[in-house]
Amino acid sequence: MKKLIFLILFPFLLFAESIDSYQVKIEILQSGSLKIKENILYNFGDSPHHGIYRDIPYLMKTDFIPKEIGLKNFIILMDDREVKWEKIYHTSGNYRVLRLKIGDPNTFIKGKHLYTISYEIEKGVLYFDDTRDAIRYNAVGNGWRVPINNIQIETIFPPSLSKYNTTFKVFKGYYGSKDTIPFKWINERKILINIPHLNPHEGVTIEAIFPRGLLEQSGKENQTLSFFEYLSIYFQYPLVLIFLIFIYREYKKHSFSLKKSVAVMYEPPKNMDVLQAGLIYDKFADTEDFPAAVVELAQKGYLEIFPNEKKSIFNSDPIVATFKKTDKDPKDLSEDERYLLEYILFRNGSDTFILQKNDPSTSQRIIDGFSKINQMLYDWAVREGYFKENPKKTRKSFLIKSIIFVALSLLVISLFLFKIIGSDMLISSIFVSVFVAVGAFITFSSKDTSGKIFGLAFTAMSLFILSQAFSNNWKYILLTPVPFIIISITTIALVYRNIGELTPKGYDAYLKLKGLREFIKRVKEDEIKRRLKEDPAFLDKLLPYAILFKETKHWIKLYDSAQASYPYWYHGDFGTFDDIGYRMGALAAPISSSSDSIGGGGSFSGGGIGGGGGGSW
């Protein structure tokens, strides 16, 4: 029985508050502005509240972005007396309103109270077609959350408009409804509309269509952006140009532009190990070169590799391979090779290094060790005259200056765009566009195909999310900081990888390495056989460089096609060698851890300017 009583009373409990009377007076001025006066008799019931809030959308649709309608001259009374109130620009997604918060936060009220809200709308004329304009106003907005009773809407025309040159309609219902209701002409320039009841979120929109030129305003001018408005919207693009000029100057300042043809080379540059060659080749000393360096140590006789070749599907052994140190004296090794051998692989006197799957401690040990090796390599490159300056320091300086430039530009862009697209959309666009930029950065900065594919997928996913945030309206994306962020981050990524000014000596070594890569990539069986006759260890000596240039599979196949002996230091099926190299590279990788907020939309309920809604607080 109690449940039945609750179900019967639930609708009344839900709408314990209501608006008992809603009177709107709309006066159309000859200037095209509107004077609005609302008398709202709000019934709070027995529940204590401070007052009401009134949300009025302050934007109209234009040919591109929303434009302010010019709300001004507010006068607000409660029970015909002055009352405390404040203006708040309120946004939630696409819902953009001026909120009038009416009432005293230190006082509670109950029962019925009459709120009188008077204001003006500076730009009241909207575009209808090539020869006509329209006044389209949401006399009762679709945003009210309580039922409204006894609605009366009075519309007064200026002398230039009358029932004889104006087509008038009244739309009633939920947002988007095209249902029309009757109205009454009181005289040639006054219309009265009476509606007994509106449900929550039902609204009323009036529309007056008349020949263009009868009012001082033009709907086309009101809903079309001026040149200076367009300029203020797109001012970020000159910043893009300035940033690109800055990037270009930095690139030219720290890069070597001498152009020479690349000749095929059959051996690496003299007096240079594979880690040093990797630095010269791509201007980076990083853990990606770890497999090539280990294989070079093996090829030079300092270690041997024993792969774990258990093939059972039930094998859960995490060990991939075991590296064993030989007795060869490392005195002839370079500083970076010796550090790799004695302090990363076989430290504390150990003669065994075990390569395991998913081994974070060893992975971190390699990464930390390579931080030291990197410094050795950069110092060596400058000391030996391959670079004019330390590329690592130059990149760091470039990155700091670029980040400061981008951050300051984003701040200025955000300040300008805040009122155009709103804080919510601005923050969302910046947040998502950072993900787009990260995807672009990964794409352009990755050395391998898998990294580029991941970057492209990440970028595509982020762009899809961004398009959904703007309801697939791509033109709005052009207003946000998205283009600036994507262009700036992408160019930073491209230039960052190429910063480092080679000397003529360094450039000559770089060309030799490019020539060696061409040879390794394109060499045929007959050429390999000829080289092997001169040097039986030819394939072994260039194997580290095949790994460096990501040509391992191709180089391994040449052993069989040329009927060459497999490396003596690899104790297992040589067909699995590429997998071992992949595991070494993985081990050295870093450890991963609907609303009526915009008016002027069309001939339907909620399709005009103004309106909005409100509630109690």
What would the pLDDT profile of 381-434 be if each residue is shown by its tens digit?
899 998 888 888 888 888 888 888 888 877 777 766 665 555 666 666 667 767
In Å, how far are 31, 181, 231, 275, 494 from 271, measured between CA atoms?
86, 92, 59, 12, 30
Say whether both 411 and 322 belong to one domain.
no
Distance CA 286, CA 32 (A): 68
The arithmetic mean of pLDDT across residues 481-489, rounded, is: 77
> Domain total for the chain?
3
How distant is the alpha carbon of residue 225 from its chain centre? 27
> What mean pLDDT is reported for the chain?
80
Q: Are residues 491 and 516 in the same domain?
A: no
Same domain, 384 and 450: no
Which pLDDT belongs to residue 458? 75
Dump pLDDT digits (tens) for 184-193. Answer: 999 999 999 9
State the residue range of the domain holding 88.
16-223+601-616
pTM of the predicted model as reported, rounded to 2 decimal places: 0.55
251 is a domain residue: no
| Domain edge (last residue) among 434, 467, 496 | 496
Are 46 and 126 in the same domain?
yes
Higher-confidence residue: 579 or 560?
Answer: 560
**Are residues 266 and 215 both part of a single domain?**
no
Burial class, 255, CB count within 10 angstroms (exposed 0-12 / middle 13-18 / buried 19+): middle
Task: Please indicate, yes or no, whether residues 215 and 152 belong to a single structural domain of this protein.
Answer: yes
Residues 116 and 21 in one domain: yes
The pLDDT of residue 331 is above 80:
yes
* Helix, strand, coil percent content, the chain, rounded in steps of 5: 45, 25, 35
Q: Same domain, yes or no, for 452 and 382? A: no
Nearest to 161 by CA among 221, 93, 207, 94: 207
Instruction: Specify whether the CB–CB gap between 284 and 275 falls below 8 A.
Output: no
Q: Where are the beta strands (DSSP E) in 357-455?
A: none
CA 322 to chain centre: 44
Residue 407 lies in a domain: yes
Same domain, 469 and 530: no
Does 7 map to a domain?
no
27 phi, psi to nearest 5 deg: -110, 115
115 and 128 part of one domain = yes
Whether 252 maps to a domain, the answer reads no
Q: What gap in Å lies between CA 89 and CA 99, rounded to an integer?
A: 6
- pLDDT tens-digit readout, 339-387: 989 988 888 888 998 887 767 777 788 888 888 888 899 899 899 998 8
pLDDT value of position 309 = 66
Task: Specify if 596 maps to a domain.
Answer: no
DSSP string, 142-210: TEE-S-EEEEEEEEE--TT--TTT-EEEEEEESTT---B---EEEETTEEEEEEEEE-TT-EEEEEEEE
Please, which pLDDT band fits residue 326 given cuts at 50, 70 and 90? very high
CATH of the domain at 212: 2.60.40.1730
Is 420 inside a domain boundary? Answer: yes
Please indicate, yes or no, whether residues 331 and 425 belong to a single structural domain of this protein. Answer: no
> Helix (H) and strand (E) counts for the chain?
18, 23
End-of-domain residue from the set 453, 470, 496: 496
**Domain stops at, among 463, 496, 529:** 496
- CB distance 137 to 127 below 8 Å: no
Q: Is residue 8 part of a domain?
A: no
Residue 570 has what DSSP assignment?
B
Kindly report the backbone phi and psi dihedral angles of residue 32, in degrees, each rounded to the nearest multiple of 5, phi listed first.
100, -10
Q: What's the mean pLDDT in 159-175? A: 90
Whole-number pLDDT of residue 153: 93
Indicate whether 573 belongs to any domain. Answer: yes
Residues 579 and 457 in one domain: no
